[in-house]
Amino acid sequence: MNKPEIPPADTELALRLKVAACTQLLVHHKLMNYSGHVSARLPSRDAFLIQPIDVPRSGLGPEHLLICDYDGKILQGPAGEKAPAEVALHGEILRARPDVNSVAHFHHDLTNAFTLVEDRPLLIVKNHAIRWADGMPVHPDPAHVANAKLGRAVVETLGKHHALQIRAHGQVITAESVEAVLTDSVHFVENAEALYHATCLGKVVPLSPADIASFAEHFKRTRHVNKLWRFYIESGQADGVLPADWNI
Ligand SMILES: [Zn+2]
């Protein structure tokens, strides 16, 4: 896997604002709640930004974020703050996957319901879910990813894929940027919700390989990610969810 360029604009401050904004937006749109976290790899360092364990996700600011190494050790951060219990989830994925620059982990119940039944796998039913055309694995161990061994087990389940669900626990979304991890998180949950509704209506017809190829032919990921990011940032600032003076 090739290592993508991190845009020059992604200074540490820019990444801090993006992680804080992404987290607040995931809470506002009810993908994340009292638990969960977004991480972002820092350019030119084997380290990443992540929020402390107990700071409310709804009020996360750039000044709250920790800098951790891939072992989850805090390198820099506000005095007295601790890393999240599942920091190893982020550290081990970022260590193993140079193509990933941002990870989102949250616990969305309806999406996770597909890990609780035997005969209803999460299928691709919405066009933007082609991101996961090569699979959306389910990690069998519902434990909190509380140490490196558990983190490496998640990495093994993730393989080359871009998302997974942890059974009876939650979602892990990986992407090339914070903007993309927000976009993919939205689409991952949208797809699960669409599948749930379709299942209530009748026999589900998932996207076929031909459907996927047809949509992919004209899809411009970078442009789409930028479009969604601008929509959520600007509507978030207009609605007072995000501070208007965050220059994102
Ligand atoms: Zn979790």
1 part of a folded domain: no
* Beta-carbon-side half-sphere exposure of residue 20 (alpha carbons within 13 Å): 21
107 part of a folded domain: yes
Average pLDDT across the chain, whole number: 95
Cα 237 to ligand 1 centre (Å): 28
Cα 206 to ligand 1 centre (Å): 28
Tell me, what CATH number does 118's domain have?
Answer: 3.40.225.10
- Per-residue pLDDT, 9: 54
Cα 203 to ligand 1 centre (Å): 32
48 part of a folded domain: yes
Domain that holds residue 178: 12-238
- Per-residue pLDDT, 44: 87
Cα 133 to ligand 1 centre (Å): 24
Does 2 score more than 60 pLDDT? no
Does 192 score more than 60 pLDDT? yes
Does 244 score more than 90 pLDDT? yes
User: Quick one: average pLDDT of 74-103?
Assistant: 97
- Per-residue pLDDT, 213: 96
From residue 168, give the alpha-carbon distance in Å to each of 71, 120, 208. 25, 14, 28
If you write DSSP's letter for every residue of 46-62 in order, what string do you get? SEEEE--SSS-GGG--G
The helix (H) or strand (E) run that includes residue 157 is: helix 148-158
Does 7 score more than 80 pLDDT? no
Q: What is the pTM of this model?
A: 0.95
Q: Strands, DSSP E only, in the chain?
A: 37-41, 47-50, 66-69, 74-76, 102-106, 138-139, 163-166, 170-175
Cα 99 to ligand 1 centre (Å): 22
Does 65 score more than 70 pLDDT? yes
Cα 196 to ligand 1 centre (Å): 22
Does 3 score more than 80 pLDDT? no
Does 6 score more than 50 pLDDT? no
User: Quick one: average pLDDT of 168-188?
Assistant: 98
244 part of a folded domain: no
32 part of a folded domain: yes
29 part of a folded domain: yes
6 part of a folded domain: no
245 part of a folded domain: no
Q: Which two tokens stand for residue 91?
A: 């550290």
Query: Per the structure, how many domains does the chain have?
Result: 1
Tell me if 87 sits within 8 A of 72, measured CB to CB. Answer: yes
- Per-residue pLDDT, 1: 47
User: Quick one: average pLDDT of 221-230?
Assistant: 97
Residue showing tokens 């998932």: 206
Cα 142 to ligand 1 centre (Å): 9
